[in-house]
Amino acid sequence: MSPSSNAAAASSRSDDRVAVRMEGVDKWFGDFQALKGIDLEVANGERIVVCGPSGSGKSTLIRCLNRLEAIQQGRIFVDGIELTAGAQNVEVIRREVGMVFQQFNLFPHMTVLENCTLAPMRVRGMSRAQAEQTARGYLERVRIPEQADKYPAQLSGGEQQRVAIARALCMSPKLMLFDEPTSALDPEMVKEVLDTMLDLANEGMTMLCVTHEMGFARRVADRIIFMDRGEIVEVAPPADFFERPESERTRAFLGQISTY
């Protein structure tokens, strides 16, 4: 494919195959360059795990995809719409992109059910009955239907994170972003959240996960992206990534994390 036909495909909405496309993305925090010339294409239904040492820019990368971070250079397309072409598009894209945060970010003054119905009612214009039915369905799927009327503070960390996943799913997103979803959890709660994410992956959701859970990456990812110092160093399927890492930096990283 020639470069020009590539660009044409990316900017048209008709290409249903591409979920995310980043072209030459640079991101600065003051004098610090967090992302350096990022090029990335994610297909619909693809499950991507982003890993790398802390400060490598992996969280920043996915936070750019729903414009929680603005970029200074380059173009980003999500679901065929150019994110970087105006505020109007940002709103449209945010509706279609779900995000799960390290610290859950549930609304503490609302019940679990209210957390899950707010955006569907306000953004999608669903009726309360409809939104609650949808929410209960997703709470069932993340296996906490009985907690619907509790407040977040009454739940364990693992339960809160599953609520956060359900809340994002209630918007029927086309793409899910996970920003270190298990890093703030007690060890015994990591599995229940990963199981939920695994279910989601098996149902064909397009996912970008920043995580340190290499077992999850090995099992779920179609491709693993390794980042270091704001650059994508290596992109490979799990088997190649773990068994035959190409880059010296990847090998050093894997050597450090798999000691135990």
- C-beta of 47 vs 63, nearer to other proteins: 63
Q: Counting contacts by CB under 8 A, is residue 162 touching other proteins?
A: no
Q: Counting contacts by CB under 8 A, is residue 97 touching other proteins?
A: yes
Return the residue of 91, 146, 149, 186 that touches other proteins, per CB under 8 A: 91
DSSP the chain: --HHHHHHHHHSTT-TTEEEEEEEEEEEETTEEEEEEEEEEEETT-EEEEE-STTSSHHHHHHHTTTSS--SEEEEEETTEETTS-HHHHHHHHHHEEEE-TT----TTS-HHHHHHHHHHHTS---HHHHHHHHHHHHHHTT-GGGTTS-GGGS-HHHHHHHHHHHHHTT--SEEEEESTTTTS-HHHHHHHHHHHHHHHHTT-EEEEE-S-HHHHHHH-SEEEEEETTEEEEEE-HHHHHHS--SHHHHHHHHHHT--
Return the residue of 6, 107, 140, 188 that touches other proteins, per CB under 8 A: 107
Cβ of residue 179: shortest distance to other proteins, in angstroms? 10
Q: Counting contacts by CB under 8 A, is residue 94 touching other proteins?
A: yes
Cβ of residue 105: shortest distance to other proteins, in angstroms? 4
Cβ of residue 64: shortest distance to other proteins, in angstroms? 12
Return the residue of 8, 24, 122, 239 that touches other proteins, per CB under 8 A: 122
Cβ of residue 233: shortest distance to other proteins, in angstroms? 27
Return the residue of 72, 103, 172, 247 that touches other proteins, per CB under 8 A: 103
Segment lying near other proteins (by CB under 8 A), choices 37-45, 100-108, 212-220, 223-231:
100-108
Binding interface with other proteins (CB under 8 A): 66-68, 91, 94-95, 97-99, 101, 103, 105-109, 118-119, 122-123, 152-153, 167-168, 171, 177
